[in-house]
């Protein structure tokens, strides 16, 4: 698809969520299994569109990183994060932004902080993971 302009979507908009999910699903075979099991709810605040917050969750119970809309019952950890910080972490893969935001109180964590830290340390994208990350970045406005 070189030379074609890829349609871009605002981070966390319904269209972006659908396209990002399609990208992850179409490249599932090359993903690395994660050694850590975590069930994490996220509340993203200060959205620049349709409402002020969005609830998502991360679940690695099956060894793969699953990110979906909604909430898990009895999560290991819950995180409240603002839109701009979430975009820096999840689209730009800026781990330094995560540390700075946490230290500045922009990320609020309840539950098992050690699992969250272990998750961050265990995500070392392989070639397929980097390709997925780049494709998601390419569709993000």
Tell whether 84 is covered by a domain.
yes
Q: Number of structural domains, the chain?
A: 1
Tell whether 108 is covered by a domain.
yes
End-to-end CA, the chain: 19
- For residue 128, the Cα-to-chain-centroid distance in whole angstroms is 16
Are 42 and 76 in contact by the 8 Å Cβ rule? The answer is no
User: The domain spanning residue 53 has which CATH number?
Assistant: 3.30.1050.10
Tell whether 19 is covered by a domain.
no
pLDDT digits (tens, 9 = 90+) for 66-108: 888 999 999 999 999 999 999 998 898 888 888 899 899 999 9
Residue 112 lies in domain = 32-124
Distance, CA of 20 to CA of 96 (rounded, Å): 23
* pLDDT of amino acid 63: 79
- For residue 66, the Cα-to-chain-centroid distance in whole angstroms is 9
Tell whether 25 is covered by a domain.
no
Tell whether 79 is covered by a domain.
yes
**Global pTM exceeds 0.85:** no
């Amino acid at each position: 698809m070189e030379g074609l302009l890829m349609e871009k979507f605002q981070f966390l908009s319904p269209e972006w969520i659908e396209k990002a999910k399609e990208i992850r699903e179409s490249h599932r075979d090359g993903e690395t299994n994660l050694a850590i099991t975590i069930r994490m709810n996220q509340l993203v605040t200060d959205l620049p569109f349709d409402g002020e917050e969005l609830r998502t969750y991360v679940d690695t119970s099956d060894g793969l990183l699953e990110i979906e809309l909604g909430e898990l019952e009895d999560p290991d950890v819950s995180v409240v994060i603002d839109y701009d910080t979430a975009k820096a972490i999840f689209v730009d893969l800026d781990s330094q932004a995560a540390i700075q935001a946490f230290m500045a109180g922009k990320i609020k964590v309840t539950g098992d902080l050690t699992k969250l830290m272990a998750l961050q340390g265990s995500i070392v994208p392989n070639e397929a993971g980097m390709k997925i990350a780049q494709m998601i970045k390419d569709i993000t406005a």
